[in-house]
Structure 1
Amino acid sequence: MAKSERKRALRGRAGRMKGGRGSGRGTSGHTRLWGRHAVEAALKNPARQHRKLWATREGIESLDGELPADFPVEYADVQDLARLVAKDAPHQGLVLECEPLEDVFLDEVLGGEADRPIVVLDQVTDPHNVGAIMRSAAAFNAAAIVTQDRHAPPESGVLAKSASGALETVPWVRVVNLARALDELAENGYWRIGLTGAAEATLAEALPAGPVALVLGAEGEGMRHNIEVHCDALAKLPISSVMESLNVSNAAAIALYAVTTRNS
């Protein structure tokens, strides 16, 4: 199907917008996503269960893909959509309410593939950072990201917008105990590398040939001691002394690139 035809197929039935105002939270038990990349990826994800799409006509025009003929779409103007999302959120004329994704378990992503690292985040709570890391994980073909359930942001429109569609494609494993998850990674052949500026070795020196789990801590505090001792090696990125550290999402992107290119 040509792109113009796919766009026409997305222009399903639409009525006047009804209800919805406030904080960007979905109705009870649901997730509200916004922005073209996040919404389009969610619409294309067969694992998503959708409830309703609010959109401007321009927003519908921007989509690439097909909606079922009976998909619940309501046209709205920009001001109405702004009431559905977080303050000043760039919704780009598209707001989708859907069910959260189903849980993914660690044993489901342990393929032990040397070219597909797993990213482990220790108490990285900013949804912008987690979303950006997810986007890099998708770009560099990571197998999954792993977070501790109590110390990570929930699935949200902010995170999905930062992930630019990667929320729908990168498995997100939320565990109760991160140290136990690291033990399970080791048992499945992963070499666990904790990134910290205090390390002696650089990441390039610490990288093995086999499967890798990259462990990153929150900005400021870094990895907790209990997580560091569950790593096989600690490594640093060789940045200039004029800068003390990198944003955790930037560090994750560089580390993922290093894994991808280690044998090139």
Structure 2
Amino acid sequence: MKQQLIFGLHSVERFLKQAPQSVFSIQFIKGRLNPRQQNLLDQARALGLNVELVNKSAFDKADGNHQGVMAMVEKQKDLTEVDLLKIAEGKSNPLFVFLDEVQDPHNLGAILRTADAVGVDAVVIPKNQSVGMNATVRKVACGAADTVKLVVVTNLVRTIKDLQQQGMWMVGLAGETEQTIYQIDFKGSIGIVMGAEGSGLRRLTREACDHLAAIPMAGVVESLNVSVATGVTLYEAMRQRNL
């Protein structure tokens, strides 16, 4: 059984609430615990979980603010192209997000958090040249890493084309196009395709999209951070889909 470390109060709390059977152990930094940490420790002990108080140096492997708590949990099953096609088939109007080689775990975590808020059915990433699920992603996602389906595919463009054959329309975000996201119809079966930090969409990914759209920019900054751009686009999609 594969295991993985998660860090941060929100991530550990979500596991205790949703899947306590998947938690093998929880570690806190030795010393005085704040009320939220103490409450988490009490919950863990009440559930009969293994709780350890460890030196601060044990948290050196954490990337970012660990908030004095980490847990060893069961690694979730990796979802693949087969699972994605089943998700699409099981929904009348699925909404997917495709990330074309996004490499910053903070961006992936923020996108998962927004995806959870908007009700995205799956976030899709390529197997190579892309950040995957790790402790930092989980921390930034604030629990959404366990609620949003993250699908890892071998070939992103091929997966996009397979879903197009099932009737999904692909909208790629590209700053140079004149059409804006507010002119796109986001109702129906939709995939929103986001490019990598800095380089944007790769050529083949761009060419696979049915439509390209931009976010209007009134200032001197040419583009938004990919997680911010994804959030803006997803909320426009949600607005339209809820009309």
- Whether these two folds match at TM > 0.5 is yes
- The corresponding residue for 2:60 is 83
CA distance in 2, matches of 1:97, 1:154: 18
Q: Alignment partner for residue 50 of structure 1, among 14, 23, 28?
A: 23
Maintained 8 Å contact 2:103/2:197: no
State yes or no: 1:118 paired with 2:93.
no
Is 2:9 the counterpart of 1:32?
no
Provide Cα deviations, 1:166-189, integer angstroms capped at 9, x if missing partner: 000000000001011101221222
TM-score when scaled to structure 2?
A: 0.87
Distance in 1 between residues matched to 2:149 and 2:182, nearest whole Å: 26
State TM-score, norm by structure 1: 0.80
Matching residue's letter, 2:223: S
Matches of residues 19-168 of structure 1 in structure 2 within 5 Å? 30-46=3-19, 49-56=22-29, 57-58=33-34, 60-63=37-40, 66-67=43-44, 69-76=47-54, 79-86=56-63, 89-104=64-79, 105-110=83-88, 111-114=90-93, 116-168=94-146
Gaps of 5+ in 1: 1-27
- 1:70 is displaced (CA, Å) by 2.6
SS at match of 1:95: strand
1:197 to 163, 168, 175: 175
Amino acid at match of 1:192: M
Alignment of 1:175-254 (within 5 A): 175-254=153-232
Residues matched between the structures, number: 233
Task: Determine helix, strand or coil for the equivalent of 2:240.
Answer: coil
Consecutive unaligned residues of structure 2, counting only runs of 5 or more, are none
The structure that is helix-richer by fraction is: 2
1:174 to 104, 128, 152: 152
Secondary structure of the corresponding residue to residue 224 of structure 2: coil
Q: Select between 61-70 and 155-164 the one with higher mean Cα deviation.
A: 61-70
SS class of match (1:261): helix
Rounded Cα–Cα distance in structure 1 between residues aligned with 2:42 and 2:156: 38
Letter paired with 1:93: G
What secondary structure, in the 3-state scheme, does the structure 2 residue paired with 1:103 have? coil
- The CA distance in 1 between the partners of 2:118 and 2:98, in whole Å, is 15
1:81 offset after TM fit, Å?
Answer: 4.7
